[in-house]
Amino acid sequence: MGLCSFQSCRFRVTVILCILLIHQVMTENTNKIQSANKSPQLSGYVLNNISFSILQPWQQFCYINDLPKQDKPGEYYIEIICNVNSNVLNFLDFRRFTSRIQENILFSVVITCGHNGSVFFPYPGRARLLQSLRISNCVLNGFTSEATSDVIDSITDRIKYFTLVNSVLFMSQNDFRQFQRAKHLTKAFQCGNVNAVKIIEYNISCWIGNVSKRVRLETYQSRPNFQDRTCTYTYLRHLQKSFSIIQPFTRQIDKSIYPNIEMLNFSAASIIETPKHVQEWRLESKGLKYLDLSHNLIEDVFPIICHDRINDNTTKGFVDLSYNNISSLRLYGVTKWFRETCDKLTVDIRNNPFLCDCGVKHFQDLLQKYVGNHTASSSWYMLRRKRIFSRYKYLYDLTCYNPPSLRGRIISKLSLSEIGCKPKLRIVTNVPTGPIIVVMFVSFFLSVCLFVGIRYREQIAVSCSTWLK
């Protein structure tokens, strides 16, 4: 009897669970349909006694994407999606909204603009409870409006994911003059989102005043000269950055510390030379896996210094220097790639405008010496050679860009005469012989003098002194 009632009880519980489940699925479905229709739900939305009507100004552009997700019990995660067309969205509305909310809700905000849609956005976009922010295709106003306001540093920074892409900073001439005159900038403005795990900032151009041409701010000549600040990004694993509003690009990288970084992407960032900081491979950033410097204007292969220990169990790493402006194949730094400490690293210099002159011979010798197929005595040595070969066999396929007569030719296969290396004998016969003979005579005479001088020191001292009189 007792057993029976227990079973029926369990049955009833199952049914209730089922009903609950169905109900949940149904509400989820209606929710999906609503978000597909992009019906604005902000004003009517109430969660944990918070009415989203406070976010009223955002209502016409934004909707809540999904059911609030619960990561931990009692903690919610809400995604707000906004599409702004020929209108202005004010980030400060969102900040005001979150300043009144209890702690257990985190927000993700995704703003996409079109048709000159713009956002009033004081960098770096600080607001309580904001965990993820993405802005794309927007005109950004007020970007520097809080650059000197210390109140910003007092707002708790919980941003983990920050993305700002394909946008235009709009600064009036007045904004810009004010920014230039600033003596002091906040940490928030100078360093950005230091608690983030992933930061992506690229293809940001700048309109200043009525300058009709879009200029990249980092090429703007009259850049203000602020005090340097060392920014430490303790949690950052992925950084993709192609612009810096404050400093010339390389210095900005130099001053930052990324102890846990795995991916540094400075592709297409108009970098002219390799930042000193990144030449030390894995000195500070032990977990670095990928350094992307492709599509820049770098002209030199830097002498990279590897800090992996030999027989370390660290993962493989990659430095991408492809699509730069490297022309010299003297490649001062390349021999360092073949050191044992660099065994975990591959450097890519494909698609650069290599100049094929006599200096290329040096490169060919280098290939022979380090990358070629040699038979070696020790098997350990063979293994290392094999590893180098598998990483760098692409070097055999590099092609010339200049001179035009050799464009597209494979460098490793060029003959000495094709690269214009003249045999040594011809060089000697080409030099005029007159001066050489004179020099030979002079040096012979001097060495005889020296010999005679040492051998007959005393005698000469006497005779010389009389002669000098």
Ligand X SMILES: *[C@@H]1O[C@H](CO)[C@@H](O)[C@H](O)[C@H]1NC(C)=O
Q: Which residues bind ligand X (CB under 6 A)?
A: 49, 115-116, 137, 166-168, 202-203, 210, 240, 265, 267-268, 290, 292, 297, 299, 313, 325, 327, 373, 396
Task: Closer to ligand X by CB, 93 or 299: give it.
Answer: 299
Task: Closer to ligand X by CB, 66 or 299: give it.
Answer: 299
Min. distance of Cβ 450 from ligand X in angstroms?
47
Query: Between vectors from CA 147 to CA 97 and to CA 248, what angle results, nearest 5°?
Result: 130
Secondary structure class of 331 (helix, strand, coil) = coil
CA 11 to chain centre: 59
Task: Closer to ligand X by CB, 63 or 143: give it.
Answer: 143
* Cβ 171 vs Cβ 144: under 8 Å: yes
* Cβ 139 vs Cβ 170: under 8 Å: yes
Min. distance of Cβ 211 from ligand X in angstroms?
8
Min. distance of Cβ 329 from ligand X in angstroms?
12
* Cβ 243 vs Cβ 201: under 8 Å: yes
Task: Closer to ligand X by CB, 46 or 464: give it.
Answer: 46
Rounded Cα gap, residues 34 and 26, in angstroms: 12
Min. distance of Cβ 389 from ligand X in angstroms?
7
Rounded Cα gap, residues 371 and 376, in angstroms: 13
Min. distance of Cβ 356 from ligand X in angstroms?
14
Min. distance of Cβ 50 from ligand X in angstroms?
9
Task: Closer to ligand X by CB, 31 or 137: give it.
Answer: 137
* Cβ 251 vs Cβ 227: under 8 Å: no
Backbone angles phi, psi at 370, to 5 degrees: -110, -30
Min. distance of Cβ 110 from ligand X in angstroms?
17
Q: 316: exposed, middle or buried (C-beta count within 10 Å: 0-12, 13-18, 19+)? A: exposed
Task: Closer to ligand X by CB, 313 or 429: give it.
Answer: 313
Min. distance of Cβ 408 from ligand X in angstroms?
19
Rounded Cα gap, residues 324 and 351, in angstroms: 7
Task: Closer to ligand X by CB, 46 or 439: give it.
Answer: 46
List CB contacts of 373: < 8 A, sequence separation 6 or more.
Answer: 389
The alpha helices in 148-262, defined as continuous H runs, are: 173-181, 187-191, 249-254
Task: Closer to ligand X by CB, 131 or 265: give it.
Answer: 265
Min. distance of Cβ 347 from ligand X in angstroms?
14
Q: How many CA atoms lie within 13 A of 20 on its CB side?
A: 6
Min. distance of Cβ 6 from ligand X in angstroms?
36
Question: How many CB atoms are closer than 10 A to CB 230?
Answer: 10
224 cis-preceded (ω within 30 degrees of 0): no
Task: Closer to ligand X by CB, 203 or 351: give it.
Answer: 203
Tokens of 357: 């002159």
Rounded Cα gap, residues 58 and 15, in angstroms: 42
One DSSP character per residue, 370-402 reads: IIS----SSHHHHHHHHHHHHHHGGGGG-B--B
Min. distance of Cβ 149 from ligand X in angstroms?
27
Task: Closer to ligand X by CB, 390 or 466: give it.
Answer: 390
Task: Closer to ligand X by CB, 104 or 154: give it.
Answer: 104
Tokens of 152: 């910003």
Task: Tell me how far apart the 2 most distant CA atoms of the chain are, in Å.
Answer: 143
CA-closest candidate to residue 350, choices 318, 314, 317: 318
